[in-house]
Structure 1
Amino acid sequence: MTQKIAVGEAIGAGFRLIGREPMAFAVWCAAYFLLSALSLVLNWGDTAAYYDALAASVGGSAATLPAAPFGPAQWLAMLVSLVLVLTIYTAIMRAVLRPDDRRFFYLRLGMRELWVALSAVLATLLWFAGYLAFVLVIGIGVGGVAAAAGEAGAIVSVIMMLIVVPLALWAYVWASLRLSMATVMSFAENRLRVLASWRFTKGHGLAMFLVGLALTVASLVVFGLLAGVMMGGLAAASPDRSNAFLAMLGQFSQMSVGARLAYSAVISVLYVGFLVAFMAPWAEMYRQLRPTSVAATFD
């Protein structure tokens, strides 16, 4: 019997995981918070100076915008952050696919994590190649037809854009979805599985699209509301209310240590929550499509 994706169950997989493993989720958030807070505090001098310079440049041209500070400390923090995100990313998959393997709150760093990292890099390269193809199809195809149409080129190009862009965009999204199981399959099967994702997801593109669409819309609403509240609060707390953006930047640069830590804690919970909300559904869809082989891959 052909397995199918239960869209509703997949969408709620992240929330069920947090409810089932609150301690693991708390540890993931704490680990990310410790790293981000340490980086924020150590580099706050350069960061505050950047915010002040950015506030002073408001109203100027793009050429006058200051360059963001990015030295050796920032590169090191980025590298450590990538490794931590990778371990949290795979911990989410492990929690869904092997819920009884709770050691170290599902956090590991081994061959499965290496395969996930390699598959993510290869999938990203394929995604970028697809993006370039998308741009070339739109630019060369529409431009060529418009040029051949002569005086009616402007009208023809508009008509072509209305037809070609939605079709090309859908093809791009569909291809991305077909390859989106690469990291989950590489983790579960403990080997590099990128192109295999294309065969594995055959016939399930629409269900995966509905899951991704629901999660994207929900995250945009939540993050939009939170960003509005945070920025509005920062701007309202500033004595200079003539320019809300300038006021917000000024508040950032004057943050106390406690405020920085509170800011970092909120961002950490939101970011890890975002990872769980988006990653757990993909692991859940894999479990639904291959329920009998999941346990065997861990033996």
Structure 2
Amino acid sequence: MSRFSASDAAFSGFRLVRENLRAIAIWAAAMTVLSIISNVLAIQYFGRELEALMSYLSDNSNPDPEETFRLISDLTPLMLWSLPYSLVVNGVIFAALNRLVLRPQDSRFAYLRLGKQELRQAAVWVLSTLILMGVLFAGSLIAGFLGAMGGPTGAFLALLGLLGAFCVVIYLAVRLSFAPAVTFENDRITIFKSLPETKGLFWPLLGAYLLAVVMSIIVVLLIWTIVSAIGLIASGDLSATGKMLRADTSSLQAYFTPAGIVQALFSGLISILTTLIVFAPAPTIYRALKGGAPDAPTTGGW
């Protein structure tokens, strides 16, 4: 029997927003500024390539894999630059989230820092992603091998292999979901020490996480509905709604239209809200299982 309420945990992100409006507003403002700066740099140097890829994908319901790969390869320098940027930003945000939940008294700088804790959080997400991708890749190889048998039997076994790999990925993602919180608490990179903490809690954890994802989707849709309504009232142009959902990235002049500015201003808020709603349940549940206060750090990693 679980020692926490899955429904209460799923709404923990909303409670954090309500109880820490000032800190969350600072997070959203910082994320908005960083998003605008990164978008400006990306459009300045790779605007045409970005617009070519987005236009091709939006105009073709069945895009050619070779053409898609060619367009993506043109953006390789941008992706190489975006990867470390994303890791640092995510590390800062997830460390701040864990600090807010596990050490709420440490509220300096609105819980935002840039140090070892943030680098550990980035490392945890990289390692967890590699583990999950490795499992999915192995499952795909097995499914391909089974599919090579040919016939309905081979196709059926290949489908079972893919479904099995997908289920294993979900299972591991849930069982490893405490890794960021454990890492933050122990000041050491820990991945597999999340397993004993989540033992026997898979189904209530999965329920809490799924409910949180559904709520985040509803929040995003609600925000974009409101923003689109405001844009429609202000401009009287029905096409403005579509432009807000995907701004023109071919040039800075095309991007900084009213629709592009609205998208940029709300992107930071949406990013922070979805992060809190989806990922706050894990450290919140971890804290509840620990009795509301972190224990003394343990030695050793992993």
- Give the TM-score taking structure 2 as reference length: 0.76
Change (3 A) 1:119 1:43: closer
Change (3 A) 1:226 1:138: farther
Change (3 A) 1:274 1:139: same
1:143 aligns with 147
2:195 aligns with 198
1:92 aligns with 97
Matches within 5 A, 1:115-126: 115-126=120-131
Report deviation, 1:131.
0.9
Corresponding letter in the other structure for 2:127: L
User: Is the Cα–Cα contact under 8 Å of residues 46 and 69 in structure 1 kept in the other structure?
Assistant: no
Report deviation, 1:252.
7.4
- Give the TM-score taking structure 1 as reference length: 0.77
- 1:272 equivalent to 2:272? Answer yes
- 1:169 equivalent to 2:166? Answer yes
User: Is the Cα–Cα contact under 8 Å of residues 213 and 277 in structure 2 kept in the other structure?
Assistant: no
Report deviation, 1:125.
1.7
Distance 1:120 1:24 in 2: 23
Change (3 A) 1:207 1:27: same
- 1:284 equivalent to 2:280? Answer no
Larger Rg: 1
Change (3 A) 1:43 1:257: farther
User: Is the Cα–Cα contact under 8 Å of residues 247 and 255 in structure 2 kept in the other structure?
Assistant: no
1:187 aligns with 184
Aligned residues: 283
Distance 2:102 2:295 in 1: 8
Report deviation, 1:226.
6.1
Distance 1:20 1:162 in 2: 46
1:237 aligns with 239
Report deviation, 1:261.
3.4
Unmatched 5+ residue regions in structure 1? 148-152, 239-243
The worse-fitting range, judged by mean Cα deviation, of 128-137 and 266-275 is: 128-137
Matches within 5 A, 1:1-299: 4-46=3-45, 48-50=47-49, 53=52, 58=59, 62=64, 63=67, 66=71, 70=75, 76=81, 79-140=84-145, 142-143=146-147, 147=149, 154-160=151-157, 164-223=161-220, 236-237=238-239, 254-256=254-256, 259-291=259-291, 293-294=293-294, 296-297=296-297
Distance 1:27 1:41 in 2: 21
User: Is the Cα–Cα contact under 8 Å of residues 13 and 280 in structure 2 kept in the other structure?
Assistant: yes
Change (3 A) 1:204 1:268: same
1:241 aligns with none
Change (3 A) 1:170 1:265: same
Distance 2:250 2:160 in 1: 45
Distance 1:164 1:207 in 2: 26
Cα shift readout 1:123-160 (whole Å, capped 9, x = no counterpart): 222112111222133222x336xx3xxxxx63323544
Change (3 A) 1:266 1:79: same
Corresponding letter in the other structure for 2:147: G
Corresponding letter in the other structure for 1:275: T
Report deviation, 1:271.
0.7
Change (3 A) 1:13 1:135: same
Change (3 A) 1:189 1:67: closer
Report deviation, 1:92.
0.9
Distance 1:117 1:139 in 2: 32
Report deviation, 1:205.
0.7
Distance 2:164 2:256 in 1: 50
Distance 2:284 2:248 in 1: 44
Unmatched 5+ residue regions in structure 2? 298-302
- 3-state SS in 2 of match to 1:131: helix
